[in-house]
Amino acid sequence: MKTIDEVLKEKQTGLYFGNRLILPFHANFLKVIIDDEIIYDFSPGSKGIMIVEEKEFTNLYFLEHQLLKDSVSKYEAVKMIAVEKSKNIFDKANHKKLAVYLEENHTARIEEAGNDILFIE
Amino acid sequence: MNRKISILTPIIIILYAADLFGADKVLQNGEHHLPSAFMVIPFIVLLLMIATGPLFYKHFWEHHYPKVAIFLGLITAGYYLVVLNDTHSLVHTIAEYISFIALLSSLFVASGGILIKVDKKSTPMLNVLFLLFGAVISNIIGTTGASMLLIRPYMKINKDRIKPYHIIFFIFIISNIGGALTPIGDPPLFLGFLRGVPFFWVLENVWYIWLPTIILILAVFYVIDVMNKKGDSSNQEQTYTGKIEFKGLKNLVYLLIIIISVFLDPAVLSFVPGLSPLPFGIREIIMFSVVYLSYKNADQEALKGNEFDFEPIKEVAYLFIGIFLTMIPALQLIAYEAGVLSDKLNAGVFFWATGSLSGFLDNAPTYLNFLSAAMGKYGLNVNVIEDVREFVFRDDIYLQAISVAAVFFGAMTYIGNGPNFMVKSICERAGIQMPSFFTYIVKYSLIILIPIFVIIWYFFFLGKG
């Protein structure tokens, strides 16, 4: 199982199908922004998102959206703040701001959200 | 696309068949039918749904708000067509809506292709100067253009300590009150200009009200921001280059085209041909062309940096067609009552009446209806350009009160002016949890704006007219 840093370094991509985003790492998610929806609730009963971990990847099901491609324009990204499972969630230095761009052929390009991307934690 | 054409086609056919483009339909005694007071219900329903939808039934509202807005609008349109047999009001409203959305959409898309990057440390004084700059340029590129151009750099400057109040004051100043000095600044003034109010009249007669209002609001903001800055311990050691970078400046040409096209109206320049009986003219064609061309030719890096999306303008387009249509009965009843009571209406009453309704109804048609009521005091007709010019010359205190109130009070709610919604949407996409419709009013508008507006009324409109 790769870490977030390894995924970013190797430019590994994820996948998306329908309202499901598949990321090639495990993480604790603190905030996810899709369209103008801000999701903080990742509990099992959340009405915004359902997270299902598999052995080698993590599924994010966006319950309020039918097709992710319809909700995110080609210039926008699904933004998230994620923390490696092995790291201390209370140390803000471990908070990774990620931007996931939905490209053709169900490819989800994962980047670290740099200063150019407007992303307020 | 086929579904959209099939919906529009019967409406256009009806309008042409009724042969009522531009012609008045009057009763034998010369008066228009007044709508039933019950016909304000669709408007009230729409307003309530805009306020409560995102709070209590968000999923339904996000997926179905276009259908709700159009459905309620069609109820009103059907009433006017079938019951009142009045297509004149509908055609006028549609024409004004087309002008409104042409201006807003062209400014939105053209400015969306310009990226401004500011790498400076956030301080209260920098924020004040930024907001003041925005207030000034909103009179050149419109409150919509200025809002779209500046909201992202503003958020970036303040990204380490941003709070909702930063955005609310941005909406107050740049998205609304700042644009009170020219017809390009805000839609109600634009409509007044189209009706015959001289272009520079607003600047000459509003600047000395605009300036103290802006100063007062900025002073309140400064105090709040200083208090917020004191509690901020984030990124104390971060360094800043102080650079300001631009991308996509070629879109300034499109902004210039939009500004010039504002004047391309037969009522303003007699050599400009009209396209009657169509409910739009050359100006709207140019503006919609700018929408297409400025997006097609935009700098891709600028669009990506701005995370450009059509959703905010789409939301405005759908909601405001509903608002424009459902509002027709409310505005006609208001105009009628204002005409009946016109002798009792002084400048102060016009200020508060126009303002109160501008915050909840769109401020552009509200402005026109109160202008109509004020002109009614002198037996003048707002549909006659010469009458409007005579009214401006004769006693402009009413026009001043109506103009100031229509623009200023647009800041009172998210639906008071087009850019308010767009700014909210952009901020939420960046991760800022914006106040709800009611929280915005209770926590910000009532506490900050109303006392300032009371001061303005006291010094400029109390006992006048």
Q: How do residues B164-208 score in pLDDT, each as one tens digit?
A: 999 999 999 999 999 999 998 998 998 888 788 998 999 999 999
The answer to whether B378 and B389 are in contact (CB under 8 A) is no
- ipTM score for this prediction: 0.86
Residues of chain B contacting residue A120, judged by C-beta atoms under 8 Å apart: 155, 159, 162, 430-432
- Residue B193 C-beta-side C-alpha neighbours within 13 Å: 23
Q: Mutating which of A36, A78, A119, A121 best tests the B interface, going by the most B Cβ atoms within 10 A?
A: A36
pLDDT recorded at residue B232: 59
Task: Give yes or no for B301 touching A (CB within 8 A).
Answer: no
Q: For residue range A25-45, list pLDDT tens digits in order.
A: 999 999 999 988 899 999 988
Q: Which residues contact B169 (CB under 8 A, 6 or more apart)?
A: B131, B217, B221
Q: CA B94 to CA B88: how far, in whole Å? A: 10
Task: Give yes or no for B429 touching A (CB within 8 A).
Answer: yes
Q: CA B107 to CA B143: how far, in whole Å? A: 9
pLDDT recorded at residue A119: 86
Nearest to B54 by CA among B354, B439, B355: B439
Specify the pTM. 0.85
**Partner residue facing B431 (CB), from A76, A115, A119:** A119
**Partner residue facing B304 (CB), from A35, A36, A75:** A75
Q: CA B299 to CA B332: how far, in whole Å? A: 45
Structure tokens that stand for B72 in this block: 């309620």
Which helix (H) or strand (E) segment holds residue A27: the answer is strand A27-34
**Partner residue facing A33 (CB), from B156, B310, B431:** B431
A73/B310 CB distance under 8 A? yes
Tell me if residue A31 falls in helix, strand or coil.
strand
Q: Which string of DSSP letters, residue by residue, matches B300-340?
A: HHHHHHTT--SHHHHHHHHHHHHHHHHHHHHHHHHHHHHHH
Task: Give yes or no for B245 touching A (CB within 8 A).
Answer: no
Entry field: residues in chain A: 121
Q: CA B157 to CA B81: how far, in whole Å? A: 52
pLDDT recorded at residue B465: 78
- Rank A90-104, A106-120, B18-32, B358-372 by mean pLDDT and report only the highest: A90-104
Q: Which residue of A has its CA nearest to B116?
A: A116
B431/A38 CB distance under 8 A? yes
B430/A116 CB distance under 8 A? no
Task: Give yes or no for B432 touching A (CB within 8 A).
Answer: yes
The answer to whether B430 and A35 are in contact (CB under 8 A) is no
Nearest to B141 by CA among B183, B177, B100: B183
Task: Give yes or no for B425 touching A (CB within 8 A).
Answer: yes
Tell me if residue A25 falls in helix, strand or coil.
coil
Residues of chain B contacting residue A29, judged by C-beta atoms under 8 Å apart: none
> Residue type at B440?
Y
The β-bridge partners of B246 are B116
pLDDT recorded at residue B450: 97
Residues of chain A contacting residue B430, judged by C-beta atoms under 8 Å apart: 33, 118-120
Find residues 123-182 of chain B whose CB sits inside 8 Å of chain A.
152, 155-156, 159, 162
Give the alpha-carbon dihedral of B292, B295, B298, B300, to 10 degrees.
-150
Cα A19 from chain centre: 12
Write out residues in chain B with pLDDT < 50, as ranges: 1-7, 9-11, 13-31
A120/B162 CB distance under 8 A? yes
Q: Please say whether the dihedral angle defined by the alpha carbons of residues B439, B443, B447 and B452, taken in this order, is positive or negative.
A: negative
Q: CA B71 to CA B32: how far, in whole Å? A: 25
Task: Give yes or no for A116 touching B (CB within 8 A).
Answer: yes
pLDDT recorded at residue A19: 95
Residues of chain A contacting residue B308, judged by C-beta atoms under 8 Å apart: 73, 75-76
Nearest to B216 by CA among B451, B413, B460: B451
Longest dimension (CA), chain A: 37
The answer to whether A17 and A68 are in contact (CB under 8 A) is no
Q: Does residue B85 come out as left (phi exceeding 0), alpha (psi in the -120 to 50 range) or beta?
A: left
Q: Which residue of A has its CA nearest to B431?
A: A120
A36/B425 CB distance under 8 A? yes
Q: CA B386 to CA B388: how far, in whole Å? A: 5
Nearest to B200 by CA among B139, B255, B287: B139
Which helix (H) or strand (E) segment holds residue A21: the answer is strand A20-23
* Tally of CB atoms within 10 A around B205: 18
pLDDT recorded at residue B77: 95
A91 pLDDT above the threshold of 90: yes
- Strand order across the beta sheet in which A20-23 lies: A37-39, A27-34, A78-84, A96-102, A107-112, A14-17, A20-23, A58-62, A49-53
**Partner residue facing B432 (CB), from A37, A117, A120:** A120
pLDDT recorded at residue B237: 60
| A59 phi and psi angles, rounded to 5 deg | -100, 130
pLDDT recorded at residue B137: 94
Structure tokens that stand for A78 in this block: 């699904």
Find residues 70-89 of chain A whose CB sits inside 8 Å of chain B.
73, 75-77, 79
Q: Mutating which of A34, A118, A119 best tests the B interface, going by the most B Cβ atoms within 10 A?
A: A118
Tell me if residue A90 falls in helix, strand or coil.
coil
Residues of chain A contacting residue B59, judged by C-beta atoms under 8 Å apart: 64
Q: What is the mean pLDDT of chain B?
A: 86
Tell me if residue B92 falls in helix, strand or coil.
helix
CA distances from B145 to B84, B151, B216, B259, B279 (A): 39, 10, 24, 11, 24
Entry field: residues in chain B: 465
Q: For residue range B135-173, list pLDDT tens digits in order.
A: 999 999 899 989 999 999 999 899 888 999 999 999 999
**Number of CB pairs < 8 Å for A and B?**
54
pLDDT recorded at residue B248: 93
pLDDT bucket at A107, cuts 50 / 70 / 90 = very high
Nearest to A35 by CA among A81, A72, A75: A72
